[in-house]
Amino acid sequence: MPFWLISADVGREEASTLSRRILGRAAAREAAAPDLPLPFDARCVLTTRPDIGLRSCFAPAARWIWPPERDGEGARRILIRPAEGRVVIRQGERRIALKAREAAALALGADAEFVLAQQGRIDVIELDSVLLPPSADKDAGLMRVIPRANPGLQALSHYGALLLRGLLPLNSFALQALAKAHVHALVDAALSDREIAAPAASTDRRAGRLAAIKADIEARLERRDLGVEMIATLHGVSARAVQKLFESEGRTFSDYVLERRLDRAWHRLVTADGGGLTISAVAFEVGFGDLSYFNRCFRKRFSCQPSQVKAQAVGGEVGA
């Protein structure tokens, strides 16, 4: 489940506001002890419980030094990815600069200095030495820029977002181990792919961009402020360019978002973990701000009321 680590100087109201803005709902949280600063001196960190090494650090300090750490088997490895702005990383004589949504892996065997050009969000993966991919254990794979277009990094970013938002439940030890293995396999893929990709045909580029946009929509469905401008800004294109991608499928951006929200609502109503939720709770959880509008759209899409679907699921007539 999503879990907030909150700096001691962040009030409950500010923490709740942030949680609802990022997740669309409140999440479990705990205050950080004054002598246990959060990574990057962030005001808050989104992680998971159980902990599988994923961190999203919000409002990080403009300059921060990660002291050297060792886990008994050599220096621990991490992967860093700024979601916004630019980050300069210095470690010894080596220096790299990361733009938004680029990444790099590094070993924490020596002080690592991070200088941020913009306070936004820093994503961190603390790598498990047992699951450490071979490519991450070689100096050649460390302190090198992984471009944002790297397929492994893109898959890792979307998979991590789903885990951090609680959309992929980790409610058993087997699922936790599987998720952690998937994360490390994707890190390996990102570090191993060093070849410059051949230019893609325009149709392939459009399909790839649309797939990436849909993945970002999926990770943000619960946000009521989700809109075409938000997604366009995230991908560095115009809102019109995003609309044209969906028009190529014969629908609009809003049509797609509505369809995905309704599909997720149906799933929540018919699954066991959603059975205890009220209709309004499901509606708000998937991004609707008006219950009447949700009911109208649901009935138009599925030709029945949400309450009927929930009642049938409870009676065992609808499968998950």
Position with higher pLDDT, 37 vs 214: 214
Task: Let me know: does 241 contact 232? Beta carbons within 8 Å.
Answer: yes
What is the structure's pLDDT at 71? 64
- 120-124, 127-131, 159-163, 272-276: segment of lowest average pLDDT: 272-276
pLDDT for 187 beyond 70: yes
Residues 262 and 238 placed together within one structural domain of the fold: no
Confidence of residue 36 (pLDDT cuts 50, 70, 90): low
Residues 289 and 182 placed together within one structural domain of the fold: no
Q: Give the end of a domain, one of 217, 234, 251.
A: 251
Q: Which CATH number characterizes residue 269's domain?
A: 1.10.10.60
- 43-52, 57-66, 107-116, 201-210: segment of lowest average pLDDT: 201-210
Residues 187 and 211 placed together within one structural domain of the fold: no
Residue 38 inside a domain? The answer is no
Q: Which residues contact 254 (CB under 8 A, 6 or more apart)?
A: 228
Q: Which CATH number characterizes residue 156's domain?
A: 2.60.120.10
Domain of residue 220 covers 202-251
pLDDT for 289 beyond 60: yes
Characterise 78 by phi-psi region: left (phi > 0), alpha (psi -120 to 50), beta (else): beta
Nearest to 149 by CA among 97, 186, 101: 101
Residues 216 and 144 placed together within one structural domain of the fold: no
- 84-93, 164-173, 265-274: segment of lowest average pLDDT: 265-274
Residues 224 and 239 placed together within one structural domain of the fold: yes
Residue 34 inside a domain? The answer is no
Please provide the average confidence, as pLDDT, over all residues in the chain. 82
Which pLDDT tens digit goes with each residue over 39-54?
898 888 889 888 899 9
Residues 177 and 106 placed together within one structural domain of the fold: yes
Q: What total number of domains does the chain contain? A: 3
What is the structure's pLDDT at 204? 67
Confidence of residue 182 (pLDDT cuts 50, 70, 90): very high
pLDDT for 123 beyond 50: yes
What is the structure's pLDDT at 271? 67
| Spatial separation of the C-alpha atoms in residues 219 and 213, rounded to whole Å | 10
Residue 293 inside a domain? The answer is yes
Residues 162 and 59 placed together within one structural domain of the fold: yes
Residues 104 and 129 placed together within one structural domain of the fold: yes
What is the structure's pLDDT at 148? 86
pLDDT for 20 beyond 90: no
What is the structure's pLDDT at 79? 94
Residues 214 and 136 placed together within one structural domain of the fold: no
What is the structure's pLDDT at 122? 92
Q: Give the end of a domain, one of 192, 217, 239.
A: 192
Residues 72 and 177 placed together within one structural domain of the fold: yes
Task: Let me know: does 87 contact 80? Beta carbons within 8 Å.
Answer: yes
Which pLDDT tens digit goes with each residue over 140-151?
568 889 998 888
Residue 40 inside a domain? The answer is no
